[in-house]
Chains A and B, each alone.
Chain A
Amino acid sequence: MEHSVGYILGVLVGAAAGLGVVALLFKLKVMDLTFDERQERARGQAYKYGFWTMTACLFLYGFSDQIFGRWCDVLTGVMLCVAVALMVFASVCIVKDAYLSLKEKPRTIMTLLTVITLLNLSIGAMNLKSDRVVKDGVLTYGAVNGICGVMMLTILVVYLVNYLLAKREAGE
């Protein structure tokens, strides 16, 4: 599919703005990467699970494309694999109490995650409503917001369940 220069510039500016926001959050210490030794170790294990999940997903995606023909855009397929791998990485980190760094405040990070989840799900729903998710039986890049929304919602649910279980365990 051909895109205009304006479209490509828009994508680049959007990506740059996204990176700028993340950099600002790091500068304001809302996001931080200071982990202790147990967390580093747990995150290493989680990274391993995420890596192998992504490898398996990419193989599955490649095979499905060969067998069933083109069912989704290449970039959308890659995003789908990355989303599944990130879901696995984040879930393992959460279960091992290594998702948030030493300086991050759980409430702030979860609020941020909730806002981004709602934003992505809303854009995903809008894309679905205006028939931009599937074109000629092929999943298009318009599905990516929905995919990211579902991924973040899953991470939020895992965090919440883990938090409630830990709270119940502490109370016993």
Chain B
Amino acid sequence: MKNLRLKAARASLDMSQQQLADAVGVSRQTINAIEKGDYNPTIRLCLAICKTLNKTLDELFWEE
């Protein structure tokens, strides 16, 4: 399932996939895979993404 909330949060900070990837120490393709729902990140990476985008885990990764 696509993670549109992550994409929206990144876009709201005017960040590219590459910038977010550099900030959390992964490749651009990994961010792309998470946004497309092709890859389930570990809790450690989820937390790093949340801290970078100033969001909570629930806001970005909790499935309603």
Contact = CB atoms under 8 A, between A and B. Distances in A.
Interface string A94-114: 000100001000000000000
A102 B18 CA distance: 11
Contacts, number: 26
Interface stretch (A13-21, A34-42, A82-90): A34-42
A102 B25 contact: yes
Interface residues of A, number: 6
A36 B33 contact: no
Contacts of A36: 25-27, 30
Tell me which of A36, A38, A39, A102 has the highest count of chain B C-beta atoms within 10 A of its own C-beta: A38
A36 B33 CA distance: 13
B33 A38 contact: yes
A37 B27 contact: no
Interface of A: 36-39, 97, 102
Interface string B7-32: 00000000000000000011101100
A147 B33 CA distance: 35
Contacts of B39: 38
26 contacts: A36-B25, A36-B26, A36-B27, A36-B30, A37-B26, A37-B30, A37-B41, A37-B42, A37-B44, A37-B45, A38-B26, A38-B27, A38-B29, A38-B30, A38-B33, A38-B39, A38-B41, A39-B27, A39-B30, A97-B27, A97-B29, A97-B30, A97-B33, A102-B25, A102-B26, A102-B27
Query: Which 8 pairs show the lowest CB-CB distances between chains A and B?
Result: A36-B26, A97-B29, A38-B30, A38-B39, A36-B30, A36-B27, A37-B42, A102-B27
Nearest to A102: B27
